[in-house]
């Protein structure tokens, strides 16, 4: 691939000035976006099947979102939480109605939302004068990159260099009911789970496992925290994946798609658990700012107007069916197809994910990967049906060319 002059300049500046957290990136500098398409400084357009890692739920440059951001920016972008601002309060009321929970606090990211959830659960038992601090999480989970969320994450590679970590987290095998039963006791503060483990390869939880977590929390009084940073906002064909699993958490965390690209995170809780915070226990300078909340309100407006939750379910079924057809044709190339809605994975038999990604990029597709053998698809919820057939044709060609 020819490197354009703009990209070359950006790469040189990046290598000189930016902390090396992302390694060697593909030779592409994004210039603008329109719908499900991203345009590079090389003049080419690419079908965005990463969606900013489940962030760009409306695609790019959605007119209603752009207008809401511009209108709010013309009024006030930021004000201190010493005072009320209407976008914050209106968004809080709307999210509690959509989720069935009672109260919300806004931060700026998924990690911040999960930090707040951890603090809220521990604060709840502190207020009850009960010494319950331990939080049970799953191996291969991912909850963030701050110290506490990295400690909660069940993948040591994310936390090993940064010890000592905050104590009080117990990791158990995912989908192992026996291990979960053994781990949860009357000393447990909370059980914190993802319903689909995205960062370990898109592995859905078993229905019985999640329902058992709810039962164990009810029996012991522990709080059930469901991390919906990636599965929330309709990506699974339900506004919350916990609705799909027929469980009602005590605490839910949201981020990624909530702002449609504008940074915002949220922790929601039922009334009982909300007593874990009193004034001064938690806060955020930027959390709940008018601009981010206005953007999130616009995202929810578009969801309602365009029926995007139902669209995610329908488009996800179509895309998954097409991938399953490829799997049946090429079982020696594709090991597994899994996921729910528009959170899908295609696992290869060989560790060729990077090569497939690169080859697909030359054909005009941006796809994600996990590890060395899993391709991950997290497209915008506005993905058109007519984009699926050519995608599958090109993916088939690349798999035959690169893998076989």
Q: Which residues are catalytic?
A: 142, 227, 256
Dihedral angle of Cα 126, 128, 133, 139, to the nearest 10 degrees: -120
Paired tokens of 190? 């909370």
Paired tokens of 141? 């989970």
Paired tokens of 181? 């039963």
DSSP 169: E
Q: Which helix (H) or strand (E) holds 152?
A: helix 147-152
Strand partners for 252: 226, 268
Residues 6+ apart with CB under 8 A from 143: 111, 114, 137, 149, 150, 152, 153, 192, 194, 227
Neighbours of 215 (CB within 10 A): 14
Q: How far apart are CA 296 and CA 65, in angstroms?
A: 8
Q: Where are the alpha helices (DSSP H) in 207-330?
A: 207-220, 241-244, 271-274, 290-306, 308-329
Contact indicator for 296, 273 with CB cutoff of 8 Å = no
Neighbours of 349 (CB within 10 A): 15
């Amino acid at each position: 691939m020819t490197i354009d002059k703009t990209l070359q300049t950006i790469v040189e500046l990046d290598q000189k000035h930016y902390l090396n957290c992302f390694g060697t990136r593909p030779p592409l500098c994004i210039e603008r976006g329109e719908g499900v398409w991203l345009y590079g400084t090389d003049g080419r357009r690419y079908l965005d099947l990463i969606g900013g890692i489940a962030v760009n739920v409306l695609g790019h440059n959605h007119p209603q979102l752009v207008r809401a951001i511009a209108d709010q920016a013309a009024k006030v972008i930021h004000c201190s939480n010493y005072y009320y601002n209407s976008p914050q309060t209106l968004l809080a009321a709307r999210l509690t109605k959509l989720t069935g929970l009672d109260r919300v606090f806004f931060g700026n990211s998924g990690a911040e939302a999960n930090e707040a959830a951890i603090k809220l659960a521990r604060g709840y038992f502190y207020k009850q004068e009960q010494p319950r601090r331990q939080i049970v999480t799953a191996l291969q989970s991912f909850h963030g990159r701050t110290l506490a969320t990295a400690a909660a994450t069940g993948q040591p590679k994310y936390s090993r260099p940064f010890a000592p970590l905050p104590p009080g987290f117990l990791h158990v095998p995912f989908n192992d009911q026996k291990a979960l039963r053994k781990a949860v006791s009357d000393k447990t503060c909370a059980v914190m789970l993802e319903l689909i483990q995205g960062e370990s390869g898109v592995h859905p939880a078993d229905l019985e496992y999640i329902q058992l977590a709810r039962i164990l929390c009810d029996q012991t009084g522990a709080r059930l925290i469901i991390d919906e940073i990636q599965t929330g906002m309709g990506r699974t064909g339900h506004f919350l994946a916990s609705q799909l699993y027929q469980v009602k958490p005590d605490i839910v965390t949201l981020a990624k798609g909530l702002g449609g690209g504008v940074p915002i995170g949220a922790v929601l809780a039922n009334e009982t658990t909300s007593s874990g915070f009193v004034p001064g226990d938690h806060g955020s300078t930027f959390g709940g700012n008018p601009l981010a909340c206005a953007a999130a309100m616009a995202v929810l407006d578009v969801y309602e107007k365009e029926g995007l939750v139902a669209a995610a379910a329908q488009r996800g079924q179509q895309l998954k069916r097409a991938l399953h057809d490829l799997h049946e044709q090429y079982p020696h190339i594709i090991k597994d197809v899994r996921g729910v809605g528009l959170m899908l994975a295609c696992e290869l038999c060989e560790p060729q994910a990077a090569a497939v990604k690169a080859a697909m990029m030359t054909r005009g597709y941006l796809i994600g990967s996990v590890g060395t053998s899993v391709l991950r698809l997290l497209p915008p919820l506005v993905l058109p049906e007519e984009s699926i057939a050519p995608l599958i044709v090109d993916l088939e060609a690349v798999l035959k060319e690169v893998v076989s």
